[in-house]
Amino acid sequence: MLELLKPINLGPISVKNRIVMAAMTRSRADRNGVVGEMTARYYAQRAGAGLIISEAINISEQAIGSPHTPGLYTAEQVEAWKKVTASVHAKGGVIFAQLWHTGRVGHSVDRKGELPVAPSAIAIPQGQHHTSRGVQPYETPRALSVPEIKSIVRDYAQAARNALEAGFDGVELHGANGYLPNQFLAESANQRTDEYGGSVENRSRFILEVIDELIAVAGHERVGVKLSPLHCYAGIALADPVSTFTYLIGEINKRNLLFVELKRRSPLYPAPVHYPTQDEISLFGSLSQVTVIANSGYNRETAGQELDRGIARMVSFGTPFISNPDLPERFALNALLAPSDQKTWYVGGEKGYTDYSFLEPVKEVTGQII
């Protein structure tokens, strides 16, 4: 049997295969951050994955970075997510909520005129942000006070409570891709001189405080974290990424989380010359004493090779799941994958969301399989 298709115990959760549907922003929520019936259909269609990690979900109004992204901080939002989790569970699936605070990766256009917040008042140096009024230059964020940081930590805890109420099987902290926890880790975004800046221990304090709160709410066997140690999206650069993430993963080991999902760097965002060239799974996954989920850029063959190395126990897939809702079945049959229409990735509606086809079922006629 293909290694990807073998069942596995993920802590207290038995999953049917080692294929994870990675979190992907799809921008189908309404203006109040509420998901609808088509979101329930979208996730139910993909419940063949061993584990679904939801699209990133804003933990508070302050956390919002992009338009039409969902939330988990109002009663209406929680009720809407209940329909999603119920639809996944009805198909025998497992789904975790990815908890999100975008920090400086946002724009006041979609924040009721409020500037984004960050560890320090440092703008993302290049690129533009997608907003409800088209692309806009990145703004200089407002630096958070210590009391505000403590309040955000509490917001994560409340979002975890809301996720469990909504029926999610657990939560994943989005600590990757240049968002707020990643900003605290990186000197390019964090030049604080208080207990949240400077040393690796201080720069790691925020993400570890959040993890501790999530564990207090959900238990360590219902909490995972996504990290992108060498991915330089949104102006993220660390003076010494190896020592920073070696320390952080050591602390995660002490907390015995359910899993750590490691995203590999993208060639679209070249790393500084001082960054290591070794791949993230070898360099950091080998340090992990909790389950490693390898993420980003894998196909059927390379995912199998990754599992054969023995560091990662599961592999998460993003883009292939958009246009192949039955991705595990296609992998089992080594069937062709359907391409996705990138123009519909972040555009509201059913098109490019729930209208992708499934494989035709195999029929048996006169004793022969055709």
Q: Active-site residues: which are they?
A: 179
Report whether 98 contacts 174 (CB < 8 A). yes
The whole-angstrom separation of Cα 42 and Cα 356 is 10
φ/ψ of 365, rounded to 5, equals: -130, 130
Report whether 212 contacts 219 (CB < 8 A). no
Report whether 116 contacts 64 (CB < 8 A). no
Report whether 108 contacts 114 (CB < 8 A). yes
The whole-angstrom separation of Cα 259 and Cα 164 is 18
Residue with token string 């929680």: 78
CB atoms < 10 A from the CB of 293, how many?
Answer: 27
The whole-angstrom separation of Cα 175 and Cα 134 is 26
- Token pair for 355: 């209208």
Residues 6+ apart with CB under 8 A from 249: 227, 260, 284, 287, 288
Q: Of 39, 40, 360, 98, which Cα lies nearest the Cα of 225?
A: 98
Q: Of 153, 168, 175, 172, which Cα lies nearest the Cα of 102?
A: 175
Pairing of strands 170-174, 142-143: unpaired
User: If residue 224 lies in a helix (H) or strand (E), which one and from where to where?
Assistant: strand 223-227
